[in-house]
A and B are shown apart, each in its own frame.
Chain A
Amino acid sequence: MSDIEQTISKVPAEIAPFPHLAETWDADLAPLVCERCDWTFLAPASPTAARCPHCHQAELTPLNNTEAEYTIPTPGLAQPDLAPPEQVIPFSLSPTSLESSIQSFAREIPFAPGDLNPRQLRSRLQAVFLPMWLVDAEVQATWQAEAGFNYEVVSHQDKFEENRGGWSTRQVNETKTRWEPRLGRLQRNYQNIRAPALEEHNLLQAQLGPFDLGQAQPYQKQAIQSAMLRLPDRTTQDAWPDAKPAFQQAAVEECRQAIGADYIRHYSWQAEFHKQNWTLLLLPVYTTYYLDDEHKPQLVLLHGQSGKTSALRRASLKRAQRTSITLLLIAAVLFLLSLAVSTASIFLPPALAIGVLGIVAALLVGLGALIPVATVWWFNRSQTK
């Protein structure tokens, strides 16, 4: 059993997978939903209840396949069945190889919550695939742009030195760009243009960094056997405005190649898109969590290829407060003792010095008691920023 398989929570056996899913995906998968955070998943059928890998606060419940709680209104996907993804980027890091990422995440947190430790984080790792839309289309367009062609000019750099006999000249070749208008017609097929399938895709991408899309492989059931699959929450209609600029970007690059130009700018087009075909690409991430002061799970996301971590690192204010109170108590006891010693100086004058020193020390310890709370406040504030 692989590392990834060990981390998987299983879906209750009584949840019958969609019959069509088994056929088209060639795997026993069941659609599940988290009632708390509304994330929907496909997960391998299993006798035990799965915990939501996003909020980690609720167990996943089966999606009612007859009421079609989950639908993807796209011409490429028959409802309520889900077509299998076209491509999958496999996990290139196993949970054990994430050790250094987890260690560095948990390190150097002042007064870290008791639950925030590498062992706990590791034991809760859950492999999840995030979806991304891939769209193919035939594009017919008229376009216009400015094409930039590099060329070389001869220039000069001269130097005058009175002490070395006057002028010296150096000829240099400089590269310049000549811009020329071009326009044309385009009829091309573009495949696997990407568009976000999740509302929070851009945020996740910003936090985790880019995925190496060159590692994408055609879908095979083995690739997803041991992971949960997040289902899209954006329809293809929602994703289309994001796909169009990507189509244009692909067209810009092809037009540049067709012209034989070095650069292209001010590109505009009037395009018609035909024969759209929407499929999915799966991106690998791990999720885990730790419990904060209020015993609420805090989500930790790890990039399945680079191991980059994204999560809120929160210090424990409760632990800091306990430390501060302890210090305050010590300061109070020291203060009282010093007072007593100072009083005794009526009979033994040299004791006054000890008493004063004790009072000063008590004040310093009392002030020092503020440090733990202030440190945690500052740390949590900086993390929130």
Chain B
Amino acid sequence: MTDPFPPPGYVPAQSRLDGIEIFMPAPPESLPQPEVVDFKCPQCGAVTAFSASDGGLTCSHCGYYEAPEKAVVGQRADQFEFTVETMQRAAQGWGAERKELACQDCGATTTIPADSLTHTCTFCGSNKVIQRQAAQEILRPRFLIPFKIEPDACQKIASAWLGSSWMTPPALQKLAAIAKFNGLYLPFWTFGATTRAGWKAQVGHPRTERYYDNGEWKTRTVTDWVWESGQATLQIEDLLQPGTGRLSARLLKEVKSYDLSQLAPYEPKYLAGLQAQAYDIPLEKAWDSGRQEMREETRQACLSQASTSQVRSFSMNLDFADESWRYVLLPVYLATYTYEGKPFQVMVNGESGKISGQRPADWNKIWLVIALLLAPGLLLGLLGLLTIPLAGAGLAIGGFGFILLVIGLVIAFILYNKASALDDL
């Protein structure tokens, strides 16, 4: 029995010569995707939503449960190259316009941001995942890390976090009214590249020498500057850069420690009942930031090769190779809480539970601590001034007081900055 020709999975391709037939691998299933995917319970027709505990779909109405299909690709997830075409089209983005969405369940028409990937109808509560046309197929989100932390767990994490700092009001943990944590998939770019650098610099080698001056021998340190050069090659993988500029960069930076080995292929069901955003920082801009981080890392690697830490006239040529990128969605929970009528924002990593956010500072407590820090120095200084007539003892006490004051000022300055940053975004 002869094998069929062409073998399964191959489709005809265009041939430029008569008498030669060509077959190519069939492109990945490109079934027509509905622009909006509704998640309804097949039993009772109620709304189903993604469950972070095990990755399945659950119906809160009748208890229907759809088991998850775990498909983790991790760092094997496809990466794309910076082709000329991609770079040109990635820059187009999805703009800032809004789009009208007609709910197929209740018929209500809602206006949603053009870059929303999900929507919950405000009238009937149905969960929808919007699969709009991207500027280019590869600019669709292809991978994501599913939520692993339940919203309830976030409440506990936030509560513990609110009470974890002595700089916050003692009643914060009890009185803070934390609103519901909303799961949100944020767009991120991951970048990989090999950096090859050749560097050259003058490296200083300090040495001590003796010299004769004014009739006596003295020592001094002189630096001999020697040219050194070297080469460094770094393979940088999965450098994360935010794809959105609408959230606090500080909070994002503090929670963005994701385990990319948990990347899974994008499925609309992961977004059911959650919010998701498309990127608003285009690929090229994010790559500019990523490249700056990579070259700085490479520069540090070159500098570490120098035989001492004293370096001047440093120059290096850096060549990027095998540059690649991915567009991924990563899970965070967002919530606001109010304390004494003022709103504060909290962000929780939906995978690891790492938390970051704003907290009110208890300035009474902080000023008190600062006063306590400065008091010993001031008091001893004052005592030193009063006891100056006692000659040596007064000077010693005053000097000691001055040292304590300086130390107190430094610690107070650090404390003040830290407390000021507590409610920063």
Q: Which residues of A contact B (CB under 8 A)?
A: 142, 151-163, 167, 169, 173, 176, 180-188, 254-255, 257-260
Contacts and interface: CB of A to CB of B under 8 A. Distances in A.
Nearest to A141: B20
Interface SS of chain A: strand
Across the A-B interface, give the 10 residue pairs with the lowest CB-CB distance, nearest first.
Answer: A258-B17, A258-B20, A158-B318, A184-B22, A185-B21, A162-B314, A161-B315, A258-B15, A154-B82, A188-B19
A167 B296 CA distance: 10
B23 interface: yes
Contacts, number: 99
Given A162-B201, A176-B81, A260-B14, 16 more contacts: A142-B5, A151-B83, A153-B82, A153-B84, A154-B82, A155-B321, A156-B291, A158-B291, A158-B295, A160-B295, A160-B299, A162-B312, A173-B84, A184-B22, A188-B20, A257-B16
Contact of A157 (B23, B81, B317): B317
B126 to A, nearest CB: 42
Interface residues of B, number: 36
Residue from B14, B22, B23, B201 whose CB has the most chain A CB atoms within 10 Å: B22
A153 B16 contact: no
Interface in B73-104: 81-84, 87
B115 to A, nearest CB: 25
Interface in B92-146: none
Contacts of B316: 159-160
Given A154-B82, A167-B295, A182 B13 contact: yes
B320 interface: yes
Residue from B19, B87, B313, B323 whose CB has the most chain A CB atoms within 10 Å: B19
A167 B292 CA distance: 9
Interface in B3-37: 5-7, 10, 13-17, 19-25
B423 interface: no
Contacts of A156: 291, 320, 323
Contact of B315 (A153, A159, A188): A159
A216 to B, nearest CB: 24
B315 A154 contact: no
A186 B5 CA distance: 13
A169 B291 CA distance: 10
B323 to A, nearest CB: 6
Nearest to B201: A162
Contacts of B10: 183
A259 B23 CA distance: 9
A163 B315 contact: yes
B83 A182 contact: no
Contacts of B312: 162
B293 to A, nearest CB: 12
Contact of A159 (B6, B201, B313, B318): B318
B267 interface: no
Given A160-B314, A173-B84, A254 B323 contact: no
Nearest to B82: A154
Contacts of B24: 180-182
A185 B5 contact: yes
A254 B321 CA distance: 34
A257 B14 CA distance: 11
Contact of A153 (B22, B319, B323): B323
Residue from B291, B312, B318 whose CB has the most chain A CB atoms within 10 Å: B318
B189 to A, nearest CB: 15
A151 B230 CA distance: 33
